[in-house]
Amino acid sequence: SFGQVYRCRDHKLGVDVAVKVIKNLPIFNDQAVKELFALKKLLPADPDVPDLVTTANDFSKKQQAYSPKSAADTRHHHFMLQLVDSFEFRAHKCFVFPVFGKNLYEHMRDRDFAALPMSFVKSTARQLLSALIHLKSLNILHCDIKPENVLIRDEASAGVVLIDFGSSCLSSEATFTYIQSRFYRSPEVLLGLPYGFDIDLWSVAAIL
């Protein structure tokens, strides 16, 4: 584990936020730099959607990002969690995100792993595949897609959002040999073969 996520309170804005705190060890700091790079590349290019990292002191824009309506509307974010702010505290790199609910694994566990409605499965598939299409356009591999990294933003509409880019890399830098969680690991990674965008598609298929 690269770090821990905490539910915190932004007292200036009066809202709860999710803060991912990275362990302050060199190996984790190096990976955090790569994660931050990926998260910034994922920021929406739509001029109507604020780049909240570079406008971190604009409280009105930050408050807009934390609002339930804005956080739930992930069309501009391609169904991926948007970084709102980043900072360093006592040598720990910290990333700030809107707060969502439970992840897909917790949702299935709470249902005693009973089959999910087909409408939910289809909606989840569409959103995750849309996320993969956008990642490919940015030459980014997620490298750790699993139920724990899919947050449910709206159970009623079967809305999900992809999180945790701590293992991500650019397609040109796909040289790591130990990636992906065991049950969602693609054959080429298992066999130590060259890999690319298809490994994320395999993980999504394994989830479905």
Look up residue 97 and give its DSSP letter.
E
- Is residue 144 part of the annotated active site? The answer reads yes
**Are the CB atoms for 94 and 87 separated by under 8 Å?**
yes
Catalytic residue among 10, 73, 112, 144: 144
pLDDT score for 143: 96
What pLDDT score was predicted for residue 72?
46
Look at residue 109 and tell me whether its pLDDT is greater than 90: yes
10 Å CB burial of residue 10 (0-12, 13-18, 19+) is middle
Q: What pTM did the predictor assign? A: 0.84
- Average pLDDT of span 138-145: 96
pLDDT grade for 3, boundaries at 50, 70 and 90: confident
Look up the CATH architecture of domain 104-207. Answer: Orthogonal Bundle (1.10)
pLDDT tens digits along 42-97? 987 654 444 444 444 555 555 555 554 454 455 557 899 999 999 999 999 999 99
CA distance 208 to 114: 13
What pLDDT does residue 156 have? 74
Percent over 90 (pLDDT), the chain: 69
Q: What is the structure's pLDDT at 26?
A: 87
Beta bridge partners, 87, equal 94
Specify the fold of 3-97: Phosphorylase Kinase; domain 1 (3.30.200)
The candidate with the shortest Cα–Cα distance to 44, out of 35, 53, 36, is 53
User: 143-158, pLDDT tens digit by residue?
Assistant: 999 999 999 987 777 7
Please give the pLDDT value at position 180.
95
State whether the Cα torsion 158-19-42-178 is positive or negative: negative
E runs forming strands in the chain: 3-10, 15-22, 85-89, 92-97, 140-141, 150-154, 159-162, 169-170
Instruction: Give domain limits for the chain.
Output: 3-97, 104-207
Please tell me which residue, 26 or 17, carries the higher pLDDT value.
17
Between residues 21 and 71, which one has the greater pLDDT? 21
